Amino acid sequence: MRFELNWKRIIMCFMAVFGMGFFLSFLMLCNLGTDPCSFMNKSVSTKIGISFGNWALIINIAMLLIVIFWDRKMLGFGTIFNMVLVGYYVDFFDWLWGKYIPSSVFTEPVSRWCVFVVTLLLFILSAAVYINSDMGVAPYDAIPSIITKKVTSKFPKIPKMAVRITWDFAAILIGTLVGGVPIIGIILMAIFLGPAITLVGKVINKSK
């Protein structure tokens, strides 16, 4: 488990999680797509009529139990920050923007796309900083890593990325089945998140 008191990394991880929740709230209001996990959770929470934060916490706890059983070394402060805070940050900022930002900002084509592109890039950057803080991963991300280790140990010819892609598509399928509509943001997230993680990792390693 990654619960060592490295305050620099803890603060970096906490701020990255705040950024993820902050920018994700804009992405959801623009309704042009998010990451597969958020898409699934938003679709399910809307379907069953509870807040995004409450549902995200419930499903994260369920997935956390799986990770604790199979590979608790992947857990850390970052795991707790992500599974507890991101959803409630989204709920809070969704309420805040509803009071102070005109809804037309998220519906008129020009402003909608401007907000979407900027916040998508900043969300990806925040996610990359979070992952590179090396303070543990979210349960959603830990499970495909665990599956990958087990599958590739028995079937080494299976590409490692195939498991993650299948996992993300399963999340998209669940979200779609309960009424969500997968759109361009999910595709852009899949394209740019990997390179962003690599780039941020290089920057962090150079600063050590």
- Token readout for 64 is 């956390």
- Token readout for 127 is 């996610």
Domain spans, the chain: 7-203
Percentages of the chain per state (helix, strand, coil), in multiples of 5: 80, 0, 15
CB atoms within 10 A of CB 15: 15
d(CA 107, CA 119): 15
pLDDT for 164: 82
What does pLDDT average to in each consecutive run of 10 residues of the chain (208 residues)?
Answer: 74 94 95 90 95 96 93 88 95 96 94 93 88 87 87 78 84 92 79 71 63
- Cα distances from 108 to residues 104, 115, 183, in angstroms, run 6, 11, 17
pTM reported for the whole predicted model = 0.88
